[in-house]
Amino acid sequence: PLVTIDLTTAARTLIGSAMNGTQSNGLTFTPGGTLYMAGPNDPGVLYSVNVSTGAVTSVATFSSVPLNFGAINAMASDANGLLYATGRTSGAQLVTIDPITAIMTSMGVLSFGEADALAFQFAPIPEPATYAVLLGVGALGLAIWRRRK
């Protein structure tokens, strides 16, 4: 089932019942807030999950699957919403997955072996106001420098 977990008390709250009994092999959020799930077969189907109701919607069946990829072992999203996954029987192969078409593209074999988790660290992108402040500070510094000349 899909649940939320209170980070203070560790209490879980069930979200709907649509996912009850649903098997999955990978679960990840995109930066845009879409929750994707892969599974349950080899290679399976890409689903989106409604985080309010737990309802599961099929996006597409995986295609262009590498030879011997098997079921998805781990899945994550990059900062642009492109999905990445590793396979269970693929010899630790890493693939990208188009979140609209579920087309897989092989990236190669992981040098350290099979991965059962993937995560990305996103670099913060400054807001436009930050650039305005930096530009203002730069202009002020230039004015002070010219005044001293």
pTM, two decimals, is 0.72
Q: Which helix (H) or strand (E) holds 46?
A: strand 45-49
pLDDT one-digit tens code per residue, 24-55: 778 888 989 999 988 766 668 899 988 888 88
- Average pLDDT (121-142) is 69
Helices (H), the chain: 128-148
What is the longest distance spanned by two Cα atoms in the chain?
75
Provide, rounded to the nearest whole percent, the portion of the chain with pLDDT above 70.
74
| pLDDT score of 139 more than 60 | yes
End-to-end CA distance of the chain: 70
Q: How far apart, in Å, are the Cα atoms of 62 and each of 36, 66, 86, 123, 147?
A: 13, 10, 13, 29, 65
Q: Round to whole Å and give the CA distance between 132 and 145.
A: 20
